[in-house]
Amino acid sequence: MRLSILSLLALSLLAITSCTKDEEETPAPAAPAGPRLILKFHFDSTQVRLNNLGQPSSVPAGRGAYSPRFNKMSAHYVEFAPTATTQLGQGDVVYFAPETTMGGAQAIDHDLGIQVGNGQAFVDIPLSDLAPGTYQWLRVSLAYQNYDIRFYYNDIGYMGTIASFIGYSTYIGSYLVHDSTVTVNANKLQGYWAFEVHNPPLPQAVFDGQAPGTTVVNPIQATSPIPAGSCVVTGAFASPLTITGNETEDVVITVSLSTNKSFEWVDVNGNQRFDVETGFETIVDMGIRGMIPIVE
C-alpha cells in the first residue's frame, strides 16, 4: 500500500523532531573533574644571575648586558625530577609541545607553541597527570621569548623588540616581532633572533641574525647532564614537592625566571650601551639566567 503525501510528511517531521530532541538532550563532554596542575611564568630582573652550572655569574669583560622587559615566553617541555641523579627524560614528563619535520629534521613547531606573558599559565592540566611521588627538581625547556630592550643610535636612546628562539631547533613559518611579521618557513637553530625598531630612526626596521648559543642553567649538570644545544633549564624546589594522589586543591607553581642581564652583546666601545650606528654590536647570549619553581 502506498503512503499518502501527508503520511510521508508526518513521518519525516517525526524523524526530524526525534533527531533534534536527541541532539539537544546529548550533554556536552564535561571538563575533567579534580584538581589541576598549573604552571605560570614570572620574569624577574632582580633574581640572581647564574651561569650554565647554576653559579652566580657577572658580565664578562668586553661584554655589555641588559635586563629586558619581557612580553611573551613559550615552553617546549616540562619534567618533574625526583633527585639530582634522575636523568633527563627519566622523571615525570607532564608537557611536551608539538614538533614537526616540515623543515626537514625534527624541530619545535613554533606556530603551535603557547606564548604567555608575566603571571600567565603555560601549563594547565589535570593534577592526575603528575604521578604520585616526591620531586626535588623541575626542568623546563624554553623555546621562544619576546622582549623589549633599549638601544642607541647617534647617542639617542630608542626602544626595540627582540624575538629570539632558544629551543634546540625550531620550525618557523612566520612570527610577529613587534608590529612586523617575519616569514622564514625553515628550521632555525638555538640562538636565532630578529630585532624590530620602534618608530625607527634607521633606514631598516627589522634585522635578524644568529647568536652562537645561549646560557642554559643546570645546577645538577655533574649528575644529570642535558645535551648541548638544548634549553632545558633546571631549578630546585625550596622544599621537595610531594604529590600523594589524594589532593583536592589545585597545585599552582610559579616558575620564576631570572632575566637579570640576560641579553648580552660584545661591547665594542665599552660604553655598556647596545649601539647600532655601524651595524649591530654582536649579540652573543639571550639565555635565561636561572629558574626557581615556587609552589603557591
Q: Per residue in 16-38, pLDDT tens?
A: 334 344 444 555 555 567 999 99
pLDDT attached to residue 158: 93
pLDDT attached to residue 32: 60
Q: Which residues of the chain have pLDDT under 70?
A: 1-32, 278-279
Closest by alpha carbon to 234, among 42, 37, 53, 40?
53
For residue 26, being part of any structural domain is answered with: no
For residue 62, being part of any structural domain is answered with: yes
Closest by alpha carbon to 74, among 29, 45, 108, 50?
108
Contact 235, 292 (CB under 8 A): yes
For residue 21, being part of any structural domain is answered with: no
Contact 235, 47 (CB under 8 A): no
For residue 218, being part of any structural domain is answered with: yes
For residue 121, being part of any structural domain is answered with: yes
Whose grid coordinates read 541532539? 23
Q: What is the pTM of this model?
A: 0.86
Q: How many separate domains does the chain show?
A: 1
Round to whole Å and give the CA distance between 12 and 20: 12
pLDDT attached to residue 18: 41
Query: Count of CB atoms within 10 A of residue 164's CB?
Result: 22
* DSSP per residue, 36-83: EEEEEEEEETTSPPB-TTS-B-PPPTTEEEE--EEEEEEEEEEEEESS
For residue 25, being part of any structural domain is answered with: no
Q: Return the H-helix or E-strand segment holding 256.
A: strand 251-258
For residue 136, being part of any structural domain is answered with: yes
pLDDT attached to residue 200: 81
Which amino acid makes up residue 268? V
> C-alpha cell of 149?
630592550
For residue 8, being part of any structural domain is answered with: no
Host domain of residue 256:
39-295
